[in-house]
Structure 1
Amino acid sequence: MSTPYDPAKEGAQMSFDGRMSYGDYLSLDMLLNAQKTWTNTHDEMLFIIQHQTSELWMRLAIHELTAARARLLANKPHEAFKMLARVARIFEQLNSAWDVLRTMTPSDYSAFRDELGQSSGFQSHQYRQIEFMLGNRNKAMLRPHAHRPDVLAMLEEELSQPSLYDVALKTLGQRFDLPKEVLNRNLSEAYTPHPAVEAAWSEVYRNTEAHWDLYELAEKLVDFEDYFRRWRFNHVTTVERVIGFKRGTGGTGGVSYLKRMLEVELFPELWHLRTAL
């Protein structure tokens, strides 16, 4: 009979009285006690964890997008590229999460849906911050956060900052002559595509060797938006599969509202130029 393996004999730490442990470092007691269910239905735990983990990934996305924007402003694009690549992979993880949630049937969800009240992912302030950071800026979307002055102030501050795409255009404008209405626009408003911007990006794509840094920046942005669009699409199909065309718990049109969001372009000229190349 073999002797049971004892990791301590190879130096593994086994005693953590007064010392930093894995659970301490990650605050696991607090994290794993945050799943408060409101019913005794089986699938409510899935629903809560799906959304809580999504918020954690979004927190990391905000961390990376904030740093990427700062690196671009500091003229350190290659450092920003790594962060943008990471954000794309974060949204790949968020996409995979829909596959788990889609195992919940309409019957499963309807068993606890009423307990959500008026709460809805539509009200996620982190998702709103990400949209604002990327350039999808709609001041009407501040209203769901009016009951939280701290969150409202944070989102209003974000609207005073250049979006990631604004910073990318500033970088582009260092090499190409872009109009003042693009470079000096009202940052709090949604961006409107401009032919001069598309022409500049098109030149980058036509002469990649001369503009490799801008070409790489453009492709990093497109790569990220690709995953972001997939996330939105998976959101729509998951909601339709689970609740059909019912109104959302937060009062939106549900699937109809989400389908409208599919039409939003974050970095429009980077998509439009492909037709003319």
Structure 2
Amino acid sequence: MGHDTVETPNLSFGRGRTPGRSTPYAQYARLDELHSLQHPRSKEPAELSFIVTTQVMELLFDLIRHEWTIARQALREDDLPTALAALRRGTHAQDVLVESWDLLGTMTPQEFNSFRSLFGEASGFQSAAFLHLEFLLGNKNAALLTMYDGMPDTQDGLVEALRSPGLYDEALALLARRGLELSPAHSEQRYRPSEEAAQAWRRVYTEPEFAALQPLGEALLDVAERVTRWRQRHLSAVKRTMGGKPGSGGSSGLTWLRKSAEQDVFPELWTIRNEL
């Protein structure tokens, strides 16, 4: 072996590591930064779960937005296979997002109350990444942009999402280009269901001429169903952990979450099920 030496791997996960040294894996995933981002403000053990889960959800929001943006662009370009592949990948991320509530769903009120006051008015309602997803789904509300008045880059991105066609807008536009009687026009307001869109989807599911578009309808329903699951799990977790108290960001808590959970995403795809 001569003067060669064998270096023993450092398995201490960052503790005691020689400054400036890192494994290729740690460098690629930027693990030193990742594992330095959790800073509980209390001695309550459950707070770390709260922080980690919140951060994981934020990463998943970004991943889902990435896939939905790809799908939206592919629909705009009449590339249905690429759109379906992106929506499928997105549903896998949505599944993980929904299940992430398991980490918080059994937190007791005593555990949560022991550190709740320490994050002040911070609230998931303020998540720009989550709001971007809502805008992509057609749940647009320009009034919410005032939360980001001091964050021009974030606000600009949300303004663009507000003004641009959403995922469903592009799906309806594709249906129109494929010969269905639709005159889609995106709006900066919350999407409102229409009989015109319902009739278009009805024909997709009942007329052989348009049967090739059924996978798009089913893929969008997969997305919509998972959004509803997320909202229901959110409602359940909050109800168990803090009951009917107002949200930390000043929202009405359970009232707002319950209303949100009852709203269908891509509504015409649900209403026509009664007739199929």
User: In 1, distance between residues paired with 2:109 and 2:212?
Assistant: 48
Give the equivalent residue in structure 2 for 1:272: 271
TM-score, with structure 2 as normaliser = 0.89
**Secondary structure of 2:37's partner?**
coil
Q: CA RMSD in A?
A: 2.0
1:162 equivalent among 150, 160, 165: 165
1:75-94 counterparts in 2 under 5 A? 75-94=78-97
Q: Give the residue type in structure 1 aligned to 2:36.
A: N
**Secondary structure of 1:211's partner?**
helix
Q: Flag the 1:116–1:78 CA change in 2: closer, same or farther, 3 A.
A: same
Give the equivalent residue in structure 1 for 2:174: 171
Q: Give the residue type in structure 1 aligned to 2:150.
A: H
Contact 1:132 1:163 in 2 (8 A): yes
Per mean C-alpha deviation after superposition, the further-off stretch among 219-228 and 168-177 is 168-177
Give the equivalent residue in structure 1 for 2:229: 230
Q: Flag the 1:177–1:76 CA change in 2: closer, same or farther, 3 A.
A: closer
Contact 2:175 2:182 in 1 (8 A): no
Give the equivalent residue in structure 1 for 2:152: 149
CA drift at 1:89 = 1.5
User: In 1, distance between residues paired with 2:244 and 2:22?
Assistant: 53
Give the equivalent residue in structure 2 for 1:259: 258
User: In 2, distance between residues paired with 1:229 and 1:266?
Assistant: 8
1:49-128 counterparts in 2 under 5 A? 49-128=52-131
**Secondary structure of 1:249's partner?**
coil
Contact 1:77 1:213 in 2 (8 A): no
Q: Give the residue type in structure 2 aligned to 1:202.
A: R
User: In 2, distance between residues paired with 1:179 and 1:111?
Assistant: 54
Q: Give the residue type in structure 2 aligned to 1:129.
A: H
**Secondary structure of 2:209's partner?**
coil
Give the equivalent residue in structure 2 for 1:220: 219
User: In 2, distance between residues paired with 1:184 and 1:114?
Assistant: 45
User: In 1, distance between residues paired with 2:141 and 2:154?
Assistant: 16
User: In 1, distance between residues paired with 2:22 and 2:37?
Assistant: 24
Q: Flag the 1:243–1:270 CA change in 2: closer, same or farther, 3 A.
A: same
Is 1:133 aligned with 2:136? yes
* Unpaired runs of at least 5, structure 1: 1-12
Give the equivalent residue in structure 2 for 1:205: 205
CA drift at 1:147 = 2.2
**Secondary structure of 1:111's partner?**
helix
Contact 1:65 1:84 in 2 (8 A): yes
User: In 1, distance between residues paired with 2:259 and 2:146?
Assistant: 19
**Secondary structure of 1:29's partner?**
helix
Q: Which runs of 4+ in 1 moved over 3 A?
A: 17-20, 176-180
Number of aligned positions between the proteins = 262
CA drift at 1:19 = 8.1
Is 1:22 aligned with 2:9? no
Contact 1:176 1:200 in 2 (8 A): no
CA drift at 1:264 = 2.5
CA drift at 1:260 = 1.2
CA drift at 1:179 = 4.5
Contact 2:172 2:182 in 1 (8 A): no
CA drift at 1:177 = 4.3
- % identity of equivalent residues: 35
User: In 1, distance between residues paired with 2:216 and 2:241?
Assistant: 38
